Amino acid sequence: MLSNAMQVLYNTVDMIIVGHFVDKGVTSAGIAAVGQSSQIVNFATMVTLGFSNAGQVLLAQALGAGKRKEMNNIIGTLFSLITILAVALSAIILLGREYILDLMNIPLESLAMSRDYLTICAAGLVFTAGYNMVSAVLRGMGDSKRPFLFIAIASVTNIVLDLVFITTKLDMGVAGAAYATIIGQAVSFVFSIFYLVIKKEKFGFDFKLKSFKINRQYAKMMISIGAPMAIQSGCINISMLFVNSMINGIGLTESSTFSAGIKIDDIINKISQGIHHAAMPMISQNIGAGKPERAKKVVYTAWIFSGVWTVVFIALYIFFGKQMFLLFSDNPDVHAMAPTFIKAIIWMFPALALMRGTGALIQGIGNSKLSMVLALLDGVVLRIGLSWLFGIVLDWGFFGFVLGYGLAAYGYAIPGVIYFLSGKWRRHKVLAKDI
């Protein structure tokens, strides 16, 4: 949970410092630039994360089944696939950034800054993907402490460089925030690789050049699991881009409020998502070890934890919502619109609590096709459809767009609960048998 909170801290710190030192309370163009551009980078990051999670599932099931010898090839294949994918996505974004920004309907006041932020962060995508890749290996083997340490180092680096690049005579503006983010991620990646090299005997990867050769069998398994996961993650982010585009069409104040609100929401979601990240390898290991009842208990435990956190987060939004928005902007128009965002978004949290347990189960057993179908329902059909229905058709405006965005989560949550309670997940093929 702390690792996820730290990871969100990257763009959060960027937006806070940009909001106070670039916008200076006069305009919200800087906040909108960081918020909108980071959504595009997050899309690419989530695609690579889908394949990293596929590797994590294979590793965890192999560990549960006692197949340690095969883990060297799994890790090597994962590293090579993620590197190729990250480089390809970086090139696509850099070559198509003008079209992407135009498609998002970025406010004219933010366009140049958005272009700078997107270019710099896209160029450094390999570092972000690399950190997630190493973290997947560590978490698949039950180690979540080191990923937290690495991301903490990156966060400190990011904060220091944000202050140096933006608040000093360098005065690099939004570009400075992007450079700080990428350098911080690069530092995190280097430290994580260094740790794996030192502890290579413990983690079962020898770092020999031949070990990075892609194993066709494991690559095929990773693609079959990772492609639906990547599509799932991509669909969620694409739908967010569409919702952003609709809100951007209203005006700069709405765009800035949504950017700040989504960042607050992202912090809360990522913290509770730590429960998902903890439950998934536990479920995978137990499935690989042939202990489905223990996997079932993990789901119930995840629901208890996420339920408690949901109550806490709703309370924070209700009682301290204005203070949270004050972190990002001095603009009084944004502050005035913040309660509208809060009233709409809190309806999403019960659905997220359910998803932490069943989502971990669906991914932990390797049923990525079901996960993809539910993500398409949630991320595309409902998020875009409900936002359009409430915001445009019913003419509820900004409140309607945010409400549709939030209610879409039930498209994944409710079917996921039904799947778990039906017991059909017990009949899903155990991946460890083919490793």
Over residues 192-222, the pLDDT tens digits come to 899 888 887 777 788 888 889 998 888 988 8
The number of folded domains in the chain is 1
pLDDT, mean over the chain:
85
Give residue 56's pLDDT.
87
Q: Which of 70, 83, 68, 198 is nearest to 131 (CA)?
A: 83
Asked if pLDDT for residue 380 goes beyond 50, the answer is yes
Give residue 386's pLDDT.
93
Encoded tokens for 216? 């066709």
Q: Which amino acid would we find at residue 279?
A: A
Asked if pLDDT for residue 171 goes beyond 90, the answer is no
Give residue 145's pLDDT.
87
Give residue 9's pLDDT.
67
Give residue 298's pLDDT.
96
> pTM surpassing 0.85?
no
C-alpha torsion sign, points 205, 211, 212, 214: negative
What is the arithmetic mean of pLDDT over 241-249?
Answer: 81
Give residue 26's pLDDT.
41
Q: Which CA distances in Å does 100 have to 42, 244, 371?
A: 14, 13, 27
Split at pLDDT 50, 70, 90, the class of 378 is confident
Domain enclosing residue 157, as ranges:
2-434
29-33, 86-90, 95-99, 115-119: least confidently modelled range: 29-33
What is the arithmetic mean of pLDDT over 389-404?
Answer: 93
Give residue 42's pLDDT.
81
Angle between helices 145-167 and 125-140 (to 10 degrees): 160
What is the arithmetic mean of pLDDT over 319-338?
Answer: 83
What is the arithmetic mean of pLDDT over 269-298?
Answer: 89
What is the arithmetic mean of pLDDT over 78-105?
Answer: 90
pLDDT over 70 percentage in the chain? 94
Split at pLDDT 50, 70, 90, the class of 400 is very high
What is the arithmetic mean of pLDDT over 387-404?
Answer: 93
Q: Which of 38, 2, 35 is nearest to 16 (CA)?
A: 35
Give residue 137's pLDDT.
87
Give residue 24's pLDDT.
60
Asked if pLDDT for residue 14 goes beyond 90, the answer is no
Asked if pLDDT for residue 141 goes beyond 90, the answer is no
What is the arithmetic mean of pLDDT over 302-325?
Answer: 89
What is the arithmetic mean of pLDDT over 276-298?
Answer: 91
Split at pLDDT 50, 70, 90, the class of 227 is confident
Asked if pLDDT for residue 268 goes beyond 90, the answer is no
Give residue 415's pLDDT.
94
Three-state SS string over 193-205 comes to HHHHHHCHHHHCC
In the three-class reduction of DSSP (H, G, I as helix; E, B as strand; rest coil), residue 146 is classed as helix
What is the arithmetic mean of pLDDT over 137-164?
Answer: 87
Q: Each residue of 284-317: b (16+ CB within 10 Å) or e?
A: bbbbbbeebeebbebbeebbebbeebbeebbeeb
CA distance linking residue 98 with residue 244, whole number of Å:
17
Asked if pLDDT for residue 285 goes beyond 90, the answer is no
Asked if pLDDT for residue 340 goes beyond 90, the answer is yes
What is the arithmetic mean of pLDDT over 301-310?
Answer: 93
